[in-house]
Chain A
Amino acid sequence: MGKKNPTRLIDAAGQPLEPTKSALALAPAEVETFVKRETEVLADEGTVLSCEEDASQREGVVDLREKIVDQREEMAGQREEMAGQREEMAGQREEMAGQREKAMRSQVGKARLKAALIKSTAAQLREANERLVVATVRAQTMADAAEQTTVQMAYMAEHDFLTGLPNRALLSDRLAQSITLARRYGKKVALMYLDIDHFKHINDSLGHAVGDRLLQSVAKRLQACIRLSDTVSRQGGDEFVVLLTEVEDAQSAILSAEKLIEAMAHPCLVNGHRLHATLSIGISLYPDDGKDAEAIIRNADTAMYQAKKSGRNKYMMFTPTMNDRAVTRQSIEQALHRALEKQEFVLHYQPKVSLDTGTITGAEALIRWQRPRHRLVSPKQFVSIAEECGLILPIGKWVLHEACRQAQDWLQAGLDLGQIAVNVSPMEFHGKNFLSGVREILNDTGLDPRHLELELTESGLMQDSEQTAATLLALKHLGVQIAVDDFGTGYSSLSYLRNFRIDTLKIDKSFVQDIDGDAGEAIVRAIIAMGMSLKQRVVAEGIETQHQLAFLQSHNCKEGQGYYWGRPVPAEEFATLLAGKTFKC
C-alpha cells in the first residue's frame, strides 16, 4: 500500500465532487457526518484514490462514486421526506397550540366571569349589610329619643316648667309619704305655704319676663335654705310650698320660716332691676293642724292669707280661728255671686262740694250691698274678696252703668249734677274690654262723657304704663275726666302726673285727717300747690271737721267731700240735695 491521498471526493472527470443542491439543504453537521462516514468506509477497504491509479481502479471508483451519488440522492429524498414530516408535525404542533390557547382563553374567561360574579355578590352583600347596620343604628337612635321623651314627659308631669321645682302633684305624693312615715314614727311634718308679696304688681309693671326671672331667683333662694330631705314646690303663679319632713316641733318650722324671710332680705337683681321680693308664709303642722295632706295644705294656705292680711313679709302659724275667717270669706264669695244675680247691690252718692260756695260740684258713686238678713254691707267688707275671685269685673261694670244711668236721669230732670265720679279698680282698668265697656255704657245711657269722671288709684295707673297711657288718651278723646284717688298713698313716683293727662287729684283722707299735725299740714299744702301748678283740680277727701275745712280753704283747696257734710246717701236723697241745698262752708 502506497501513501494515502488526502480524503477528497472527485467526479468521473477527476474533478472534486461538488455537493448536490439537496445536500446543501441538509444541515452542515449532517453533511460532515455523512462525508466522514464514507471516507472511513473507503479507508477501511484500503482503497485510496489518486490520479496515479490505473484506469480499472478508476472505473471502480467511478462506480463507487455513482453508488455514492445514488445513495446521496436517496438520502436527499429521505431528507426531503423527513422535512415534509417535520413540516407536517410543525403544523400539527401549531394546531395543538392554537387549540391549547383557545382552551386557555376559555378558562380565563370563565375565571373572569366567576370573579365578576363574586365581586357583584360581595357588593350586594355589603350594601345589604350597610343598610342593615344603618337601619339598626337609626332604630337605636329613635329608641333613645323615644325613651328620652318618655323620661322628659315623666319629669314634666312632676316638675314646674319655669323653676324646675317639684309641682303640685309631686308635692302631694311626698307629703303623703311624709305623713305616713311621721305617723309610724310619731314625728311631725311641717308645711309652709308661701306667696311673694306684690308679685302681681311686679309682673304687671315690669313685664312677665322679669316676673319669671324673679320666680326663678326666688326658687333658688328657697332651695338653698332647706335640707336635701325637704321639698320646695311651686304651686303656680307666685305661690310656693315648702315641705319639712320630720320636724320636732313648731319651733323648728318657725326657724325655717325665719330663714326663708331672711333669705329674701337682699334684693334680687333681674334684668337690671333691683327687686325687693318679700314673702308671706303660712305654716301648718301634721298632726297638730290636720290629719291628712289636704287639710295640712289648706290650713297652711289659710295661715298665709292671714299673714298677708297682717301686713305681709311675715309668717303665721295656723290656728283654728283662721279657719273660721276662711270659711267666712268663702261664704262671702258665694254670696257675692248670688248678689250679682239677684241685683242686691245699690249705689249711694257722696257730694263733692265747692269749698268756696258750698254748692255741689259732683257726686262720687259708692257701692253698697243689701245682703238679705244683714245690715247694709260696706265695700270694705267685700271688694277685696271680689277682686280676688274676679267678680270685681261684672260688679264694676254694673256700678259704672248704674251711675251713668242715674246721672243721666238727674241731668234729664234738670238737676245740675256736675260730674258723676266712679271708682275703677286696677283689674277693671287693665281688662282688655274696659274701654269698649265705657263706650258701650255711655252710648247705652246717653250720658255726655263730660259728666263722667273715673277715679283710679296710683298703683292702678302705674301698671303697664304704655297701655295705661293709651287707655287714658282714648278716654280723654271721649271727653271722660280722670281723677287720681287716694293721692299720695300709692307709688311715690310722680312721673305719671307728667306722662298721663290727669284732671283731678284727690287728697287721701289720711292726710286730711292729719291736718292737725305739722306733717299732715305740710303734705296737704304740697299737694294743693302741686295740683295748682299742674292746673289740676284738687279735691280733699274725708273732711270731717271745721278745722280741716278751714285749713283747706285757707290754702286755696277748691273742692272737698266727707262726713262733714254727711254720709253718702241713696239716689233719692241725693236728688233732694241736688235740688237746692247749699252746704255750709
Chain B
Amino acid sequence: MPTTDRKLCREAIRKTLVLRAGDTPDASAVAEAALGTWRLVAIRLTPVIGTLGVDVLFKRSLHLTSTAFPWLSSAWDHEENATVLASLKARLEACEKDAAAEASYTLLVTFTELLATLIGESLTERLLGPVWASSSPVPEQESIS
C-alpha cells in the first residue's frame, strides 16, 4: 500500500474509532467501538473470504498486535471466535482508555494492512472503505463471523 494511501487509511480507521466511541469515551466505550467496527468489517468481508478466512485473519492480527501490547497475548488460535471477541473486549475494558484506544487502532490497522497483502489494496479499499466512512451502529440481527 503506498504510504499516502496507508496514511489515509490509518487516519480513517482512527477517525472511525473516535466517532464510534463517542465524545467522552471510557475504556468500555473504546472497547465497544472497536468491536462494533470489527463487526462491520467482518460483515463486509465474510461474503468474499468466508467466515474462516475472516476468523484466521483476525486472530493473526491479534497475534501480531500483541507483540506491541503484550496484555493482548494469548493462545487465540485454539479459541472459538466468540470467546476471542469476549476476551478481547474484557481486556480492552480492563486497561486504561488511551491504551485501549491505541491497541484497538493498531489491531484494525494491522488487520487491514494484512488483508491488503492478501487481496490487494484496491479490493481492500473497496470492501472496507464503507466501514471507515460509516459510523452507523450494526443492526442487531447481523451476526459476526
Contact = CB atoms under 8 A, between A and B. Distances in A.
A137 B47 contact: no
Contacts of A141: 60, 63, 77
B48 A129 contact: yes
Interface in A119-146: 122, 126-127, 129-130, 132-134, 136-138, 140-141
Contacts of A127: 50
A130 B49 contact: yes
A134 to B, nearest CB: 5
Contacts of A130: 49-53
A339 to B, nearest CB: 61
A113 B59 CA distance: 38
Contacts of A126: 47-50
B60 A134 contact: no
B102 to A, nearest CB: 23
A395 B47 CA distance: 81
B57 interface: yes
A133 B49 contact: yes
Contacts of B56: 133-134, 137-138
A136 B53 CA distance: 10
Count chain A CB atoms within 10 A of each CB in B53, B57, B59, B119 and give the residue with the most. B53
Interface of A is mostly: helix
B82 interface: no
Contacts, number: 39
Nearest to B59: A137
B118 interface: yes
A122 B56 CA distance: 20
Contacts of B63: 141
Given A122-B47, A136-B118, A129 B53 contact: yes
B106 to A, nearest CB: 18
Interface in B42-85: 47-53, 56-57, 59-60, 63, 77
Contact of A137 (B48, B50, B51, B60): B60
A133 B47 contact: no
A190 B41 CA distance: 61
Nearest to A125: B48
Nearest to A130: B50
A134 B145 CA distance: 14
Nearest to B53: A133
A542 B54 CA distance: 87
Contacts of A136: 118
Nearest to A127: B50
A129 B50 contact: yes
Contacts of B57: 133, 137
Contacts of B77: 141
Contacts of B118: 132-133, 136
Interface string A325-336: 000000000000
Contacts of B59: 137
Contact of A134 (B47, B48, B52, B119): B52
A132 B119 CA distance: 10
Nearest to A144: B63
Contacts of B51: 130
A156 to B, nearest CB: 21
Interface in B11-54: 47-53
B41 to A, nearest CB: 14
A140 B60 CA distance: 9
B71 to A, nearest CB: 20
16 contacts: A126-B48, A126-B50, A129-B53, A129-B119, A130-B52, A130-B53, A132-B53, A133-B49, A133-B53, A133-B56, A134-B53, A137-B57, A137-B59, A137-B60, A138-B56, A140-B60
Interface of A: 122, 126-127, 129-130, 132-134, 136-138, 140-141
The 6 closest A-B pairs by CB, nearest first: A130-B50, A133-B53, A130-B53, A137-B56, A129-B49, A137-B60
